[in-house]
Amino acid sequence: MAGAAAEQRRLATVVESWLGRPVLIVGDAMLDEWRFADSDRLCREAPAPVLTLRRRISAAGGAANTAVNVAALGGRAVLVAPVGADVAGDEVHDCLDRAGVWDRTVNLPGRPTPVKRRMLAGNQILLREDSGDPDDALDPDGVTRLLTALSCATEELRAAAGGDPPTLVVCDYGLGALPAPVRAWLVEQRERYATVALDAHDLADWRGLAPTVVTPSFAEATRLLARAGGATRPSNGTELHLEHPDGDPADGPSELSVGTAPGGVHADAGTGEPAPHLSRADRLGPVGEPTPGEGRVALTGDGLSVTGTGVTVNTEAGEGVDRAVLAESRLAELRAHTGADVVAVTLDTEGAVVGGADGEPRRSHSTPVPASHAVGAGDAYLAAMTLALAADAPLPTAAQLAQLAATITVSDTGTCVCRREDLLTALDLPPQVASHPVLVDTAELDAIVAEYRDAGRSVVFTNGCFDVLHRGHVRYLEQARALGDLLIVAVNSDGSVRRLKGPDRPVNPVEDRGALLAALSCVDHVVVFEEDSPAALIEAVRPDVYVKGGDYPPELVPEAPLVRRLGGQVRTLGYVPDRSTSAIIERIRSHSQDRESDPSVHTRTS
């Protein structure tokens, strides 16, 4: 029991270590739309159900969902991707904003945002309608704007990390967001990034990137091997050969056939000549179509081959072979063909097979769930694997956390997102902390912080006047909350605000300002301080992360030396453009003056 607790604590330490780690995500962003309907009859025109729409939800998809998962797990996520100037694009922006992702997407009028619309009845997906395809390629101006956004976001993250190179995640799902010039730029700029993760439908497009980790599905891995030549290897006297159909769909399964060497003839183990006991039909290699069922392979009707989704295996090449075994046997080739340090072949509901430079395959398992529960689970896997490797976690630890992140997200229908709190809870850490009021005084705050410290939780601290609460404040506080387990907001008293802002401020008394902050779900505790500087509170709280709003580097924050002396980190988060208390107050005053100078107003109100 003690050993299990120590292992959980070790894993939790890795999760804590990646807090605030800068990650740039680039690729195909899309919108996932879920439409939930009821159906109790068939229509008269056709044998089809009549659906009554009950609710609709939308979520970030593709590269956007990977960014959301990075942010939810505690990383600092920045997304660069082309997004259409349309309704779907607006919804993607909203999803990113709610998740605390730094939205550096490039709006491209005339190029629609890819959408995956799912219609469900009784929690069963009835149909999926996709919009967006590789034909929606970026024009030269779009490529230029995307490359500019990539370069700027890279430097932005480097500055936020104190000069350290950021992590890069490439999500290429074949929808045209990463054309050849963008791929070439990323390969050329590889040295600007420390850890590089690649998730691509066609891995062959990324030769030269030298990623730290690639996470192909089984179909994507077999597609790469087949196109690379399908090298053969002996196995107990029987050669395994990869056959692959031409013209793979851009988004669909690939078929891997494992059986005889080219020519379809089983070689005799002793002579190397065709085995005489096999009929001509047998010498043609494996037959039979893959069954639609997932899980392990099953015996086909010919009695000689077993088959499963996307794979046909001849029994003479190894009875009982399944996808995990096949993936394990080809990890070294996959690493060679991709140039990656780590290859993680994901197997849907069967978990994953992971291999690194030591040549030791690592198998992880998952719990089978309905397909509607697993949408986006691969994004959670990719986000956790990337963060763990970027935090220098050993490969077995990274693989374990990635699988756990993917597994705990599949409890319900919808696009999967794994939160840092959920991951720690799954590790039975940290223990529950007693409930406390949101509005507290300094004495109560000391006790609360001590309790959280004992529970192994991290504390985020920020301060400000928060005179007129607006969207910029809310986004800033949501991003701050994502950097730790507990967010404490220190609010200047009315006297302090007057000394800092002038005699006409604050507009709202501290009681109102504190109550509004306490009503935000991202704020755990609010405390009022009388001084002009929060230095005394910082000394008492000793925050793990101190956050300030602004577009300047952390070195310019006056409290930075104190926070670092106490062992904490300093982070600056950019505000929403054109959102500030001063600007709002000025607009209100201007509007009031316009009304006073308008004679018609006095006429109507007299």
For residue range 176-196, what is the model confidence (pLDDT) as tens digits?
Answer: 999 999 999 999 999 999 999
**Mapping DSSP to helix (H, G, I), strand (E, B) and coil, where does residue 116 land?**
strand
Distance between CA atoms of 385 and 438, rounded to whole angstroms? 34
Task: Encode 300-316: b = buried (16+ Cβ within 10 Å), e = exposed.
Answer: beeebbbbbbbbbbbbb
In this predicted structure, what is the pLDDT of residue 348? 77
Distance between CA atoms of 601 and 115, rounded to whole angstroms? 48
Supply the DSSP symbol for 49. B
> Mind telling me the catalytic residues?
379
CA angle 13, 19, 21 (to 5 degrees): 125
Confidence of residue 140 (pLDDT cuts 50, 70, 90): very high
Is 603's pLDDT higher than 50? Answer: no
**Mapping DSSP to helix (H, G, I), strand (E, B) and coil, where does residue 427 land?**
coil
In this predicted structure, what is the pLDDT of residue 574? 67
The pair of structure tokens assigned to 126 is 């009835």
HSE-up of residue 529 (Cα within 13 Å, Cβ side):
21
For residue range 235-244, what is the model confidence (pLDDT) as tens digits?
Answer: 333 333 333 4
Average of per-residue pLDDT values in the chain: 78
Mean pLDDT of 541-566: 87
8 Å CB contact between 384 and 401: yes
Question: Which of 129-138, 293-302, 333-342, 450-459 bottoms out in mean pLDDT, i.e. has the lowest?
Answer: 293-302
Mean pLDDT of 284-302: 34
Distance between CA atoms of 488 and 458, rounded to whole angstroms? 11
Is 311's pLDDT higher than 80? Answer: no
By residue count, the chain amounts to: 606
Find tokens 């609709």 and name the residue.
Answer: 56
Mean pLDDT of 236-261: 36
Alpha-carbon dihedral sign for residues 415, 134, 156, 163: positive
Residues 6+ apart with CB under 8 A from 207: 339
> 364 pairs with which residues across the strands?
352
In this predicted structure, what is the pLDDT of residue 467? 86
3-state helix, strand, coil in the chain (%, to 5): 40, 25, 40
Residues 6+ apart with CB under 8 A from 181: 143, 147
Residues 6+ apart with CB under 8 A from 482: 71, 72, 74, 100, 420
**Mapping DSSP to helix (H, G, I), strand (E, B) and coil, where does residue 235 land?**
strand
Is 272's pLDDT higher than 70? Answer: no
Is 255's pLDDT higher than 60? Answer: no
Distance between CA atoms of 273 and 267, rounded to whole angstroms? 5
CA-closest candidate to residue 522, choices 600, 469, 468, 564: 469
H helices within 45-104, ranges in order? 63-72, 87-99
Is 584's pLDDT higher than 90? Answer: no
Written as one letter, the residue type at 322 is D
Instruction: Report pTM.
Output: 0.63
Is 565's pLDDT higher than 80? Answer: yes
Q: Output phi, psi for 257, to 5 deg.
A: -105, 125
Distance between CA atoms of 554 and 552, rounded to whole angstroms? 7
Question: Which of 13-17, 176-180, 336-340 bottoms out in mean pLDDT, i.e. has the lowest?
Answer: 13-17
In this predicted structure, what is the pLDDT of residue 226? 82
What are the counts of helices (DSSP H) followed by strands (DSSP E) for the chain?
Answer: 20, 27
Peptide bond preceding 47: is omega within 30 degrees of 0, i.e. cis? no
The pair of structure tokens assigned to 69 is 């998962």
In this predicted structure, what is the pLDDT of residue 400? 92
Mean pLDDT of 221-242: 55
Written as one letter, the residue type at 493 is S
Is 494's pLDDT higher than 70? Answer: yes
HSE-up of residue 237 (Cα within 13 Å, Cβ side):
11
H helices within 77-217, ranges in order? 87-99, 140-160, 180-188
Tell me, letter by letter, the H, E, C secondary structure of 315-347.
HHHCCCCCHHHHHHHCHHHHHHHHCCCEEEEEC
Mean pLDDT of 312-317: 40
In this predicted structure, what is the pLDDT of residue 573? 82
CA-closest candidate to residue 202, choices 221, 229, 179: 221
Residue with more model confidence, 309 or 187: 187
Q: How far is CA 42 from the centre of its chain?
A: 39
In this predicted structure, what is the pLDDT of residue 376? 81
Is 1's pLDDT higher than 60? Answer: no
Written as one letter, the residue type at 98 is R
8 Å CB contact between 458 and 484: yes
Distance between CA atoms of 594 and 309, rounded to whole angstroms? 70
Question: Which of 1-15, 141-155, 378-392, 485-499 bottoms out in mean pLDDT, i.e. has the lowest?
Answer: 1-15
Alpha-carbon dihedral sign for residues 297, 300, 306, 309: negative
8 Å CB contact between 322 and 297: yes
Percent of all residues in the chain with a pLDDT value above 90, rounded to a whole number:
39
In this predicted structure, what is the pLDDT of residue 491? 95
Distance between CA atoms of 94 and 581, rounded to whole angstroms? 22
Percent of all residues in the chain with a pLDDT value above 70, rounded to a whole number:
76
Q: Give, rounded to a whole angstrom, the gap between the first and last alpha carbons of the chain.
A: 80
For residue range 396-438, what is the model confidence (pLDDT) as tens digits?
Answer: 999 999 999 998 887 777 788 999 988 988 887 544 455 678 9
Q: Output phi, psi for 22, to 5 deg.
A: -75, 130
Ramachandran quadrant class, 162 (left: phi over 0; alpha: psi -120 to 50; beta: rest): left
Give me Rg for the CA atoms of the chain: 28
Mean pLDDT of 42-51: 84
